[in-house]
Amino acid sequence: MASASVQGVALVTGATSGIGLAVATRLAARGVSVFVCARSAESVGATVKTMREQGLTVDGTVADVRSDVAVRSLVEAARAAFGPLTIVVNNAGRSGGGPTATITDELWNDVIDTNLTGTFRVTREALTTGGLRDGGRIVNIASTGGKQGVPFGAPYSAAKGGVIAFTKALAKELAGTGTTVNAVCPGYVETPMAARVRQGYAALWKVPEEEVLARFEEKIPMGRYSTAEEVAGLVDYLTTDDAASITAQALNVCGGLGSY
């Protein structure tokens, strides 16, 4: 039996490539009105155009989740376009790391501000300005790295670990309203950010990028990266009525890389 849908309006951040784009496309194909954002106006415009050409109900605007003002404007624009929010997917994020002894305050603060505080800002605004009502769905894209740590990725691991803890705390806070809050934790997923991460490790380890890929795949029991569409499939399920009793969870999509 097909899953019943929590229909309405979804806000997806960082939605013009990778996991965010796959999520936005999947939700819109199910009949949800989707509002997307990213930091590039050109990318947002191209994404909205392409999805509309597919017959999907989509709109969007440029926004930077590091800015309170930008986040407020984003949520106001989403509500003006489609009405009160029923689904929020916090996907906007960045990589970042290196030897911890050499990490600058600027890098640390930006990774935390983007990945963790940005998730908080968008969620807070969705619950107030966005009118996210009882029975809504909040899905935060975290990482297996937030559970088990990533060598030379302390800022990223700390931020994603924070997203998981924030998810669990908010889920318990909102449990009585019927609004669920969950984290999806990808492992290695083939996205543009994954390519940048491999480039960074290649420079750090002084090896070709192909060797970095081989080392990473060797750690994954299934022997391959997950796809953005596989991650989007779990996000999609968590926003259906069938997932109404799933909350405060951090669920892996990782080919067996993480076991908790």
Positions annotated as catalytic residues are 156
From the list 136, 121, 38, the residue with the least C-alpha distance to 84 is 136
The Cα 236–Cα 238 span in angstroms is: 5
Tokens of 215: 């080392």
Q: How far apart are CA 41 and CA 191, in angstroms?
A: 20
List all residues 6 or more positions away from 238 whose beta carbon is below 8 Å from its beta carbon.
Answer: 137, 139, 180, 182, 184, 246, 251
Element (H, E) at 60: strand 58-62
Phi, psi of 50 (to 5 degrees): -65, -45
> What's the distance, CA 76 to chain centroid?
20
Q: Are 8 and 31 in contact (CB under 8 A)?
A: no
Helix (H) or strand (E) holding 90: strand 87-90
Q: What is the DSSP letter of 260?
A: -
Which amino acid does the sequence have at 51? M
CB burial of residue 80 (10 Å; 0-12, 13-18, 19+): exposed
Pairing of strands 33-38, 9-12: parallel
Question: How far apart are alpha carbons 190 and 143 in whole angstroms?
Answer: 14
